[in-house]
Structure 1
Amino acid sequence: MAGTNAAETTVDEVMAELAALDDPKARAVNEKHGDDHGVNLGKLRALAKRLKTQQELSRQLWATGDTAARLVALLICRPKEFGRDDLDAMLRQARIPKVNDWFVNYVVKKSAHAEALRLAWFADPDPVVASAGWALTSERVVKKPEGLDLAGLLDLIEAQMQDAPERLQWAMNTCLAQIGIEFPEHRSRAIDIGERLGVLKDYPTPPNCTSPFAPIWIGEMVRRQQAV
């Protein structure tokens, strides 16, 4: 694609470059995490940076269904140009973990429809959709908690997190930790829920990284806040 004007780039050209970047070793590692592509994310981001923002190309790349193409699509789109129904449909198509994660963080969170979708997705029977609702709720806990029923959220987490499917469980656990970190009045209950449910207690955590086990996560982040 060298020498090609980004504005004139076609889907076929992007797909050809992604195919050339595909590394079988990277694919093998990614597939262990449920991500069916073999493109180094640094190289994928560099490609997206060259393409710059192109909403129509983004839509076309998304429509291919290819994971690497969808990741590029999310990096070159204009989040505010998607309607609510577009975003709902895209989330339900975003079953691959990395695509789902980038879609929620890079697109939905920047949309004017984020709060309406949070409410719609939060209790959806599809656990992947519900996990997006919980991810948006965690965002509100940290950035705009006014109006949230934090005690009610803890009730739901206490009742549902232990038996929730993995992706939903992670999203609920993140919300639990953020409530405990941000709100001293709910901290002891959040820690107690985490201790009793034991979710992610034994999750392997690399050195110098914070465990996702909520009581440890809460304790470490509060310690850092108090040290400042």
Structure 2
Amino acid sequence: MNLEIVMQELEALGKERTKKIYISNGAHEPLFGVATGEMKPIAKKIKNNQPLAEQLYNTGNYDAMYFAGIIADPKAMTEVDFDRWMDAAYFYMLSDYVVAVTLAETDIAQEVSDKWILSGEELRMSAGWSCYCWLLGNRPDVEFSESKLANMLEMVSNSIHDSPERTKYAMNNFIYTVGVSYLPLHDKAVETAKVVGPVEVKRDKKKSSFLIASERIQKEVDKGRLGFKRKYVRC
């Protein structure tokens, strides 16, 4: 399948209602409004195809960029490639659910995420914290440095309330993910969540929302889901 055929297939799957939802979350034209589940049959036909993924991502069409993440070959991508993808990721559904997810399937994931977290740029920071969430929810605990993650919890505790809005979401999610998916620091994550308390996130033209990591962790504890790991990062 080439670029033209994939774009035609994606366009045929687009729905106005889905398009409106994506736009309300920060997407802008061009986009078709394809539900992510609808992309799976096309992805099965293509499997991993990095050259095609690059062509799709470069279209600037939100649905094509999302689909690029599904068929990308993460191990064929370098840090330079991921930085380039981040440069084009103009809102959180691309930074956190396409770029960060794809990065989470590489050996350079932590190294690149660490740089993004310290970048001072809202979406890069958000993608860096999100990538750690994808990693922690998928990889064995032994792949992580306990002292490093403990320091990261401290960093979140000290800076979350002053961070950019989208970064707050990802940082709050990091506390939650450590609390649920990384058993060695469950107690520290719970303690951090209590210290942080409710996190106010301001949203364009909407009321602020309040994120409470401690409540989310407790819900998972109640369901007996401590230590949860997902089999795959990408859908």
* TM superposition score normalised by structure 2: 0.77
1:25 Cα offset (Å): 1.7
Structure 1 residues 51 and 219: CA distance shift in structure 2, 3 A = same
User: Counterparts of 1:193-212 in structure 2 under 5 Å?
Assistant: 193-195=195-197, 198-199=198-199
Shift of 1:159: 2.3
Sequence identity (%):
24
Using a 3 Å threshold, how does the CA distance of structure 1 residues 105 and 122 change in structure 2: closer, same or farther? closer
Match in the other structure for 1:30 = 22
Q: Higher relative CO (CA 8 A, sep ≥ 6), structure 1 or 2? A: 2
Deviation at 1:91, TM superposition (A): 1.7
The CA RMSD over aligned residues, in Å, is 2.8
Matched with 2:173 is 174
Matches within 5 A, 1:43-192: 43-139=38-134, 143=141, 144-181=143-180, 182=183, 183-192=185-194
Q: Where has structure 1 moved over 6 Å in runs of 4 or more?
A: none
Number of aligned residue pairs: 210
In the aligned structure 2, how far is the partner of 1:139 from the partner of 1:62?
A: 21
Partner Cα separation in structure 1 for residue 133 and residue 226 of structure 2: 24
Q: Distance in 2 between matches of 1:188 and 1:27?
A: 38
Gaps of 5+ in 1: 1-8, 202-210
Assess, with a 3 A threshold, how the Cα gap between structure 1 residues 200 and 224 changes in structure 2: closer, same or farther: farther
Counting helix residues as a fraction of each chain, which structure ranks higher?
Answer: 1
Paired with 2:211 and 2:179, the residues of 1 have a C-alpha distance of 13
Instruction: Give the superposition deviation at 1:214.
Output: 0.8
Query: Offset at 1:149?
Result: 3.3
Query: d(CA) in 2 for partners of 1:33 and 1:123?
Result: 25
TM-score by length of 1: 0.79
Conserved? CA contact 2:101–2:134, under 8 Å: no
Q: Which has the higher strand share?
A: 2
Runs of at least 5 residues in structure 2 that lack an aligned partner in the other structure: 202-209, 228-235
Q: For the residues of structure 2 that align with 1:184 and 1:58, how far apart are their CA atoms?
A: 37
Contact 1:118 1:137 (8 Å CA) reproduced? yes
